[in-house]
Amino acid sequence: MNVLITGAKGFIGRNLVAELRNHNNIKTLEYSRETEPALLDQYCKEANFVFHLAGVNRPKSDSEFMEGNYDFTSTLLNTLKEHKNTCPIMISSSIQAERDNPYGRSKKAGEDLLIEYKKETGAKILIYRFPNVFGKWAKPNYNSAIATFCHNIAHGKEITVHDPEVVMNLVYIDDVVEELITNLHKNVYPNGEFYEVPFIHSKQLGEIVNLIYSFKKSRTERSIPNMSDPFIKKLYSTYLSYLPQDQFNYDLKMNVDQRGSFTEFIKTEDRGQVSINISKPGITKGNHWHHSKNEKFLVVRGKGVIRFRKIDSDEVIEYYVSEDKMEVVDIPTGYTHNIENLGQTDMVTIMWANELFDPNNPDTYYLEV
């Protein structure tokens, strides 16, 4: 299938092209401002489906709105008609099409062109009035407040919020791409021209900004936001895509002594925390028990033994662990336990606990195994 994408280097276009390239049965015909204009004729002849994503939203003069959003649409449709190509065509419009401003009028004019094209040719058309789309590759300080906030906060720059209570209707770029590709594979389309974008998130601007600041802070706090919230998950992925390229990494605090080290890696509000424990050869760590706190140990380098004893019993239980076998050992409540390095090199253990460490209520009681 040959798929023509206009505006292929724009925000939505780049994401759509990147995903379409993962489909072996699809050949992308990518058209942008940098493309040789003569190729549009060839592409309109070959296309089995058209994603018309090209447009203008930040021109130097208002006249460019019509040139980019109406005139080029007219050129595209006329070229398809010249080749008698009535393949389905999707157009990216905007919620601004309902408003009386230069941008909105140009988008509405493009919609009307497409509707007339459908009446004349019988081609299937899909019109999407997108709300604010956010995600990776959106240009900051251009047409996306989310991109601007993520970029500036990640780069330590100031942002301006005029009204934190204003509500933004947002849709995530991956949801948009999934919706578009779903329609690409449909053989039958419902009656009508306008299609709704799924998964719209309505959020106050102040809430969005606070979340983005919390993402920046989470790197120093070693925390992970609540990934069970779909919007937070998408916004966090977006924020990370704007990190400065020399700041993908960040340091962790290693608590070091003669026995080795202990380093907190990840903390979560509802999924506990993950830490990295390094034990020197011959060293035993632990010898404590918990009422409610429970843990999981995974030795990823070296070899050792994890010992358990129920606090009111004399029986000692041993589990031998090593890098040769990826094996998780649960640390049940009510058992005092320790871990000993039996090797000649440092032993590295990944440790998960079901709750964050609270120095005021550590739920940790010393008792030799």
Q: List, by residue number, the catalytic residues.
A: 103
| Count of alpha carbons within 13 angstroms of residue 193, beta-carbon side | 20
Q: Which residues of 311-333 are buried (b: 16+ CB within 10 A; e: fewer)?
A: eeeeeeeeeebbeeeeeebebee
For residue 305, the cross-strand partners are: 320, 340
Angle at 85 between CA 51 and CA 67, to 5 degrees: 50
- At position 337, the amino acid (one-letter code) is H
CA atoms of 88 and 123, how far apart (whole Å): 6
Q: Are 253 and 261 in contact (CB under 8 A)?
A: no
**What are the phi and psi torsion angles at 236 (to 5°)?**
-65, -45
Q: Are 298 and 331 in contact (CB under 8 A)?
A: no
Cα radius of gyration rounded to whole Å, the chain? 29
Furthest-apart CA atoms within the chain: distance in Å:
90
